[in-house]
Structure 1
């Protein structure tokens, strides 16, 4: 590896290693893009593609992101944007879980969908997209439905799980498995002009309380549908929460939920602790 490092140092512009040098190191030394990126970050250098991160995410923190493993459950409206943003952010390992194929009604909002992709598995499209935009990121495609039966196996070694599901039943199963495995979970839900975002750490019950009055049936997304912009907004907020969890910084949406109304352009911060206090006072 000394020869690789010597080459990378020789091509560095300050502490930035340009993409051309990374690509040449892959070709010349027979390494993967992930191996080259790992070497760069371990030596305190920064791949030039992340230079606009650096005032927000330090080089040390960039290495933390690269060494993280995040599961995205659902690769549709929310999941496509979440995966795209995680890959561009530099999260090194992404597990994409979804049993579905693309259908025509996905074309209005799902980032990885296209007429050419109709009938193809969503996880395969996710893997192809990540390989195109950031080959250093390893995306593991899992074409399965997430359940309590396979959940522990699918989330093995995961740092954070991101909910991009359109099923309340599966979402509650995900929350159960995350709780049992001590994995933080970032929750997101969308329907029409509206969305919710929250973060649940092990031991919390935010999601269970959110759906405490739920009865069997379709979620609100099935009734209201979704335009192109709602999943993009909610997914971006979810990725911000994931980034904060991975880096251990900032204030999380814990014990509270953002309720987003894009029609009236209002965002409400619902605190479950405050609601509980009001109930006790009453």
Structure 2
């Protein structure tokens, strides 16, 4: 009987391993799909689902993404897109944190919502969706509200935290917890046609400067609402920032806020 590595090499197409072979390897050698994916990447091969990543990411970088853990705080308008894009990118473990269930007004923009799922916990829907699109990714659903008191426990295994919250106070608590844990924090906020993105690295206190004097305010989404497209745009930018942080690539938005006006198609960079 061939070893696991021999089996994988025999069933590879060049350096690509088809999904059916990954599933067969997991079943034959009593592995999880995640364990099979890790072995494939460690062998210098690439699960075929990621072949369109290969012009911008090396196999070693894909392995680093697989070994990474990202916490997404909020599974609504921003969070749904963030979670799905991280899973499709190949981030190995995603911690999804949200206490809420789907209600009817979520249907215009929240990726995981549907009529059938009204009343279901958002983190449960997230777990089901990721199991469907990339079951080699481990999604940890935590149905609870993020607070300063429980934050360090919820984020203790995360390499990066991504903001998909909807209030200033909750975001500031998240930023404080990330600073205490010495992990980067990617912030995004949306409202109507508008959005913003920034990255806070440990010790910077960027979000505190951004929201000085507005600590008790709500996010602008409560006043301006949100259409279907704004969350998708800002979430994608947050995922790009997260990918860069995990891989040490490019220039992060350190001390810089990017504001996006989709009505006029204007982008402005503000230094904080």
TM-score range, shorter chain: over 0.9
Q: Report SS of the residue matched to 1:52.
A: helix
1:277 is matched with which residue? none
2:188 is matched with which residue? 188
2:163 is matched with which residue? 163
**Distance in 2 of aligned mates of 1:235 and 1:215:** 23
**Distance in 2 of aligned mates of 1:247 and 1:2:** 34
5 Å-filtered alignment, 1:237-252, equals 237-252=237-252
2:67 is matched with which residue? 67
2:149 is matched with which residue? 149
Question: What is the TM-score with the length of structure 1 in the denominator?
Answer: 0.95
5 Å-filtered alignment, 1:23-62, equals 23-62=23-62
**Distance in 1 of aligned mates of 2:204 and 2:49:** 37
1:91 is matched with which residue? 91
1:4 aligns with 2:4: yes
5 Å-filtered alignment, 1:66-215, equals 66-214=66-214
1:280 is matched with which residue? none
1:275 is matched with which residue? none
RMSD value, Cα: 1.1
**Distance in 2 of aligned mates of 1:62 and 1:219:** 35
Query: CA offset at residue 29 of structure 1?
Result: 2.1
1:97-149 Cα offsets, whole Å, 9 max, x none, are: 00000000000000000001100000000000111100000000000000010
Query: CA offset at residue 31 of structure 1?
Result: 1.3
Query: CA offset at residue 20 of structure 1?
Result: 1.1
2:220 is matched with which residue? 220
Question: What is the TM-score with the length of structure 2 in the denominator?
Answer: 0.98
**Distance in 2 of aligned mates of 1:54 and 1:195:** 30
Instruction: Check 1:215–1:94 CA distance in 2 against 1; reply closer, same or farther (3 A cut).
Output: closer
1:260 is matched with which residue? 260
Q: How many residues align?
A: 272
Query: CA offset at residue 217 of structure 1?
Result: 3.7
Report if aligned partners of 2:169, 2:215 keep a CA contact under 8 Å in 1: no
Query: CA offset at residue 229 of structure 1?
Result: 0.2
**Distance in 2 of aligned mates of 1:176 and 1:118:** 33
Query: CA offset at residue 215 of structure 1?
Result: 5.0
Query: CA offset at residue 61 of structure 1?
Result: 0.2
Query: CA offset at residue 2 of structure 1?
Result: 6.5
Q: Report SS of the residue matched to 1:25.
A: helix
For structure 1, which runs of at least 5 residues remain unmatched after alignment? 273-282
Q: Report SS of the residue matched to 2:139.
A: strand
**Distance in 1 of aligned mates of 2:215 and 2:200:** 22
